[in-house]
Amino acid sequence: MGKFEENATNRLFEKNLIPEEQFKEITVHRDLNIFSLHSELKFSLYLSVLLFTSGIGILIYENIDTIGHIAILSLLLIVTTICFYFSFKNTVGFKKQETNFENPLFDYLILTAVLLSCIFIGYLQFQYTAFGTHYGLATLIPTAIGLFCAYYFDNKSILSIAITGLAAYIGLSVSPQSLLNNSFYETTTLSYSAIGLGVILVLWSIYSNKIALKTHFTLIYLTFALHLISFSCINNLFNPYWGIFGFLLLASSYYFYKSSYEVKSVSLFVFTIIYAYVGINIFIFKLIDIANISDFLIPLLYLAPFYFIGSIILFIRLIKKFNKNSNDDTIR
């Protein structure tokens, strides 16, 4: 990161965008090697929220017979209400552009409130079946609360929780165990739902940018959409109608490739390349299987190491090109 910043400063000076005196001041300041604790403190706060909410869950699990259900629900409701009260009291209100609390601690307070709301509603449904057999409501209500709080308080972490809730509502599970063990691979309709949700997220991000509504949320929507669409398309490449999903994967990869440059996100760029690479390799094996060229398999195996080495070199060159273009765009 330091090298990129140094190069950017040099380009600014070479283009006469900053005077020599300012260039020297920047260089001297950078040579001081001042270390910022901002990111570390934010990570510690985020970790504290996760540990606090996890601790409440463990406390409920281990003492459920001793404490009692009503007492647990009452305690959850009181703590959640307190968190919401101070969050609403200190917020600047809803605005279409990016906003922040005057004190960043309240970002984590509202995150705690939303997580506790999920625990409260889930516990209420599990113990008392408050929503009857409509189990989706136990997921949809916390999701609605999360979407409202994400936009009202301008919180990206809560938005991620809300989108995860939407995925859970349509039947998707995002845990690593579920990806390996559940029926996602066997139930094509589930992957269709994932593609549909991904397309909706993309369309909403486009519409939000058009009306200038929380445009900084675009990366979150695109990241979720990329994983949902790409993973589902790759999954369906092993089905009879694999050609359709191969084309969809190609089209979506191109879109996310272009979008990664627009939002200047290296993570979106890298995952797009990886998904596209996996899809291309599956497509190649499909063609080999259809052509039934078993006599050429041995020569192809000899060429495989060169193919993978070439792929790695190409991947590195693409990353360097992306970083160069992103830095140049930032300077402009």
151, 211 Cβ separation under 8 angstroms: no
Q: What pLDDT is recorded for position 127?
A: 78
Can you give the pLDDT at residue 305?
A: 82
CB-count burial class (<10 Å; 0-12, 13-18, 19+) for 292: exposed
Q: Which residues contact 21 (CB under 8 A, 6 or more apart)?
A: none
Tokens of 278: 């996996």
Residue 32: the pLDDT is 65
Instruction: Give the per-residue pLDDT at 269.
Output: 95
pTM above 0.85, yes or no: no
Sequence length of the chain is 332
The pLDDT of residue 68 = 74
* pLDDT averaged per 10 residues, the chain (length 332): 63 74 75 65 76 77 71 87 93 89 86 91 82 79 94 94 89 53 56 91 96 94 95 86 89 95 93 94 81 67 81 89 70 42
Cα separation of the two ends of the chain: 19
Amino acid 331: pLDDT: 41
Token pair, residue 131, equals 């929503």
The whole-number pLDDT of residue 188 equals: 65
Task: Give the list of residues 6+ apart from residue 184 with CB closer than 8 angstroms, or none.
Answer: 172, 173, 178, 190, 191, 235
- In the chain, where are the structural domains located? 1-34, 37-169, 175-332
**Predicted local confidence at residue 195, as pLDDT:** 92
